[in-house]
């Protein structure tokens, strides 16, 4: 299962792996914030749960990597249920403050647990994340998100985002759907965290703070809230642009910020705001319909039969 590994130089392969991991993380947050409209400022906390859980399983138990990845996702989902059930009754700024608070509490706890390295960090994690495995998990997560988007569950989440009172009047159990959604988004964050841990091989609690959550949120907002292809594009751009601008190291972050401002000024609803994956596929196929080809004599489009 290594058909993509070693084909390109290690530097570019590392960048592609990082892009894939951030796509996974952003898709998980898009389900929570983009699809359901619940502002989560602690997404990096669930990434850290997946990262530390998978790393400890690899270091202490020596189980196959796939079990470590799934364990990281399940641990993040468990904490998503534990934290989500009481906090998801809140909305707006209050929910954002609660999720932010959990992230900061978890970071402080990790700083003070010697078993996971404490402030010194957890080192010696085996480098098991490969480009092939990352691409496979990205594809699985994208398919999962597309299925959720087109399902009854997904339509209920959109209804909750638009108007919770109206959704409840139509018989939607808001708390149940919110908790299920939150646990699924946290599970995906845990998968991304597990891949991240086995890529960088050293975990520091400070790497999973508020700024990391904002970084992932930027990807979702830039791509377009609720848009799966937009989230993928936003994550890919914001992950790769700093590397592309590395040639101007002194002005890299200034150029990076200027690009973000320009994108949001000219595309305030995101690069692909409101565009679903199915809509993107339909538009792509329409470009290649036989009826849209120009007529050989007149240069006009044909009638399609």
Residue-wise DSSP of 164-195: HHHHHHTT--HHHHHHHHHHHHHHHHHHHHHH
Is the pLDDT at 73 greater than 50? The verdict is: yes
In degrees rounded to 5, what are phi and psi of residue 95? -65, -40
Question: What mean pLDDT do residues 124-130 have?
Answer: 90
Position 91 in a domain: yes
Tens of pLDDT, residues 258-291: 777 877 787 777 777 666 666 666 666 666 565 5
Q: Does the residue 198 lie in any domain?
A: yes
pLDDT value, residue 296: 47
Task: With respect to residue 276, please indicate whether it lies within any of the assigned structural domains.
Answer: no
Residue 158 falls inside a structural domain: yes
Residue 232 within any structural domain of the chain: no
SS3 81: helix
From the number of C-beta atoms within 10 Å of its C-beta (0-12, 13-18, 19+), residue 247 rates as: exposed
Q: What is the mean pLDDT of residues 85-94?
A: 84
What's phi and psi for 210, nearest 5 deg?
A: -60, -40
Which pTM was predicted? 0.86
**Secondary structure class of 91 (helix, strand, coil):** coil
**Number of structural domains in the chain:** 1
Q: Is 177 inside any structural domain?
A: yes
Q: What number is the average pLDDT over the span 83-96?
A: 85
274 occurs within a structural domain: no
User: Taking residues 114-136, what's their average pLDDT?
Assistant: 89
Terminal alpha carbon distance of the chain:
45
Q: Where are the alpha helices (DSSP H) in the chain?
A: 10-29, 43-56, 65-87, 92-111, 131-149, 152-162, 164-169, 174-200, 210-223, 228-244, 252-266, 277-286
Confidence band, pLDDT 50/70/90 cuts, at residue 185: very high
DSSP 105-147: HHHHHHHT-GGGTGGG-B--------HHHHHHHHHHHHHHHHH
User: Does residue 126 lie within any of the structural domains?
Assistant: yes
Q: What residues make up the domain containing 47?
A: 10-209
Q: What pLDDT sits at residue 88? A: 86
């Amino acid at each position: 299962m290594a058909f993509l590994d070693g084909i390109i130089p290690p530097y570019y392969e590392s960048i592609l792996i990082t892009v894939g991991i951030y796509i996974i993380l952003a898709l998980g947050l898009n389900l929570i914030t983009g699809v359901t409209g619940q502002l989560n400022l602690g997404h990096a906390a669930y990434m850290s749960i997946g990262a530390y859980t998978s790393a400890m399983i690899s270091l202490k138990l020596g189980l196959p990597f796939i079990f470590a990845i799934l364990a990281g996702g399940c641990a993040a989902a468990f904490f998503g249920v534990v934290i989500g059930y009481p906090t998801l009754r809140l909305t707006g700024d209050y929910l954002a403050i609660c999720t932010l608070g959990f992230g900061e509490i978890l970071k402080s706890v990790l700083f003070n647990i010697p078993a996971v390295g404490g402030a010194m960090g957890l080192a010696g994690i085996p480098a098991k994340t490969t480009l092939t495995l990352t691409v496979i998990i990205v594809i699985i997560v994208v398919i999962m998100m597309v299925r959720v988007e087109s399902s009854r569950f997904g339509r209920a989440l959109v209804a909750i985002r638009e108007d919770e009172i109206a959704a409840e009047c139509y018989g939607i159990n808001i708390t149940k759907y919110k908790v299920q959604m939150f646990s699924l988004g946290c599970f995906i964050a845990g998968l991304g965290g597990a891949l991240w841990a086995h890529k960088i091989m050293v975990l520091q609690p400070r790497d999973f703070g508020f700024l990391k959550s904002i970084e992932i949120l930027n990807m979702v907002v830039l791509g377009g809230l609720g848009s799966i292809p937009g989230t993928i594009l936003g994550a890919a751009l914001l992950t790769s642009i700093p590397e592309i601008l590395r040639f101007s190291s002194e002005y890299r972050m200034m150029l990076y910020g200027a690009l973000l401002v320009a994108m949001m000024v000219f595309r305030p609803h995101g690069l692909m705001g409101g565009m679903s994956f199915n809509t993107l596929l339909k538009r792509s196929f329409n470009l290649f319909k036989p009826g849209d080809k120009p007529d050989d004599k007149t240069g006009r489009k044909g009638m399609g039969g």
